[in-house]
Structures are given as structure tokens and as C-alpha cells.
Amino acid sequence: GPLKPEITITYIAVSAIFFNSGLSLKTEELTSALMHVKLHLFVQIFTLVFFPTAIWLFLQLLSITPINEWLLKGLQTVGCMPPPVSSAVILTKAVGGNEAAAIFNSAFGSFLGIVITPLLLLLFLGSSSSVPFTSIFSQLFMTVVVPLIIGQIVRRYIKDWLERKKPPFGTISSCVLLMIIYTTFCDTFANPNIDLDKFSLIVIVFIIFSVQMSFMFLTFLFSTRNNSSFTPADTVAIVFCSTHKSLTLGIPMLKIVFAGYEHLSLISVPLLIYHPAQILLGSLLVPTIKSWMVSRQKAQKLTRQPKAPVKV
């Protein structure tokens, strides 16, 4: 179509999101985030180990139901996907959480996903397609890392102007993300051969929202335990980064791994539903999570303050 999504979305849109993040993020915050190893391990293990394994176990129960088997396979591919390169960062920023940690885990998880996601798809679905890791890695580097670095460099020269004018970085990223979702939906449902029954679709939508809510609650519980050592801002990044899955990386990766599959469109549907679902749920929860984070931070400050001596 006239939007040319094969160029504007694949290259320009994702690059714009990370250039925007590089421009808005304080360099010292990103540097400090690199050292938060425990948080990064939690996010990556949950996303790339626990998530796909839990989905696989759940699908063993669903396999005896009349739900379309290709939609169920698509649900498994959702579990195998890496963290998103945009939505988790945008929502973390909207709440006021640890944006630097969210950006690091989005970028790092995406790079891990280049190798791990195809291996997970092979393990759980038995795909035997060869995946050109070099081309995906180079594309990911050019659309994620390079724009982020350029944004940080540009920020050094216009730092005063940015702090004075405070451009609407969150709104810009949200608009770009909306364009990504729109073009991906158009691309999938424009296929005349897609065979989708309403019952299976409704059930899959319900399952996706249930999984999303359950995993967000689970990560929240784990990251707020007394011995977790995570700050409230860290918890916000963990909840979004651990449970969100990448659409912008996922769709191209599915097209590569399942090249030639006649049911590729059906396999793609759960990921197409999961992505807007995670943004919708995340957006609805932003005020609640923000309120919790602020109150928790205030409580922590009060407990750290030294008690005034009692006058006799």
C-alpha cells in the first residue's frame, strides 16, 4: 500500500522509537542500569524460559479441546518471542518506573531472541527451517542499537534545550507504535486464504488476556517479596518487560522460520492479538501501578529517615 510498511515499519518506525528513547533517556541512568544484573536475569529467564515452558504445559490441556490447532501453535510462538522493542519501554516511562532498565532489557532481550527464539520454536513446534541469523542480527543492530546510540549523542548537544522544552517523547513513541500495529493487522488479514472460526478466535482472545493478567500478577508478586531487593521503579520495569512480547521482531521472525507454511497467517494471529492486548491492559493499569509505586516510594523514604530523639 501507500504506507510502504516493508520500509517505513521494518526500518524507520522501530528506529524512530529507539532514537526517541536515546534522545529522552539520561545517559547516567542507562549506564547505571547496565549494572543491575539481578533485574536483567529475572526478566530474561522469565521471558525466554518460564513463559514458553508454562505456555507449553498449558497447551497440553488445551490440545484436547476443539480450538483450532494452528491458533494453539500460534499461542506457543507468542511464548517463544523475545521482549518487545517499544511497548514495555513506553509503559514503564508512562508510570515513571525504571526506564533505563526497560530499555536495556528490551534491547538485550531482542538480541538474545535472535538466537533463542528460533531454537525455542524448533524445540516446541519442530520447525526445521534454516534461519539467517546474520541478516536478522545486522537488521536488529541497525534498527535498535544504532538509533539508541545516535539519540544519546544528539542528546549531549541539545541537552539544555530538551530539559527546557520537554518534548512529548511518550506521545511520539505511542503514535509510531500504533502505526506498527495497524500495518501488521492489515498485512495478516488481507490474506484471502485465512480460515478462522469465531469460537476459536474468541477463546484465544480470552486466553491471551488471562495469561497476560496472570503473568503480570506473578511477576509483581515475585519482584515485591521482602528479600527481592528490587525498588518500586524496578518492579514496574519487571512487570512490563517480563510479560510483553515483541510484535515488530516476532512477525518477521515467524515469516522466516515458517516460510512456506500454508497456515502461517493463523499462526500469526495470537501474536497480533497479544500485542494490542498487552498495550491495552498496560495502559489501563498505568494509573493503578503509578499510584502503588508513588505510595511505596513514600513509605520507603519514611522508613529510612532517622527517628527523632525523644525529649525527656
The better pLDDT of the pair 33, 35 is held by 35
Task: Supply the pLDDT for residue 87.
Answer: 80
Burial class (CB in 10 A: 0-12, 13-18, 19+), 56: middle
Task: Supply the pLDDT for residue 10.
Answer: 57
Stretch 258-262: mean pLDDT, rounded? 67
The better pLDDT of the pair 312, 27 is held by 27
CA angle, 259 then 262 then 265, to 5°: 85
pLDDT at 54 over 90: yes
Q: What is the per-residue pLDDT across 215-225, written as a single tens digit (0 to 9) for each?
A: 999 999 998 88
Q: What is the per-residue pLDDT across 188-211, written as a single tens digit (0 to 9) for each?
A: 666 666 666 788 889 999 999 999
Encode burial over 208-224: b for 16+ CB neighbours within 10 A, e otherwise: bbebbeebbebbbebbb
Q: Alpha-carbon distance 223 to 230, whole Å?
A: 6
Domains along the sequence of the chain with CATH: 5-296 (1.20.1530.20)
pLDDT at 128 over 50: no
